[in-house]
Amino acid sequence: MVGVKLAVVLVVLVGGDVSFSMTIGNDARGDLAREDKVAFEDTTEAAGEIPAATTEVLPAEDISCRIPGITYPIGIEFEELAERLLNNSVVLIDVRNRWELEETGKLPRSQNVPLPEFKTAFNLSPEEFLKKYGFVKPEPEDDNVVLTCRSGRRILRAWDAIEPLGYCKVRLYFGSYLDWKARSAPLIPVPKSLEP
């Protein structure tokens, strides 16, 4: 199978402003980057301190599970996600921290695997994953897995963590919690954790 090259450049500036560029393949076009579908958030509160100026270049890699002609990551829109949630035909994973879910509520039927634990979680055995997170660990070939966060930024990092493990079919809800809330869609309260 032909591999696809991926290069991502993120520049974080003082005040949380983010510049983003993405190139897919040798003859990538601007419309493939889907910048209109990616929303960025000020992560000062959610992820801690933002460095004054940081440039991170993620190396291009051959991703063997990608199919030529498909733009990755694959997005999902609100309407399709809502329908799939109603039909119980999706595994929706929220990568926000537990305290964020406690403050805002969660999308219906969503499961929580916080971003800092994401790569480690998907390297666990199915038994360990089930014990720790309370739901069945998705298989790399599953095509019903969707990631969500607050605004669409952290799901890109989560996808970067699991794509090399073969999870190319995972889809991203780029609008995430902010889009869901803006559409007055239902949110499920999350009780405060008893853990310290």
Q: Which residues are known catalytic residues?
A: 149
Instruction: Please answer whether residues 94 and 187 qualify as being in contact, where contact means their C-beta atoms are separated by less than 8 angstroms.
Output: no
What span, in angstroms and rounded, lies between the C-alpha atoms of 178 and 151? 6
Sheet with 54-58, edge to edge strand ranges: 18-24, 6-12, 54-58
Question: How many Cα atoms sit within 13 Å of 134 on the Cβ side?
Answer: 6
What span, in angstroms and rounded, lies between the C-alpha atoms of 107 and 113? 14
Instruction: Please answer whether residues 15 and 72 qualify as being in contact, where contact means their C-beta atoms are separated by less than 8 angstroms.
Output: no
What span, in angstroms and rounded, lies between the C-alpha atoms of 121 and 62? 23
What span, in angstroms and rounded, lies between the C-alpha atoms of 114 and 195? 15
Strand partners, 21: 9
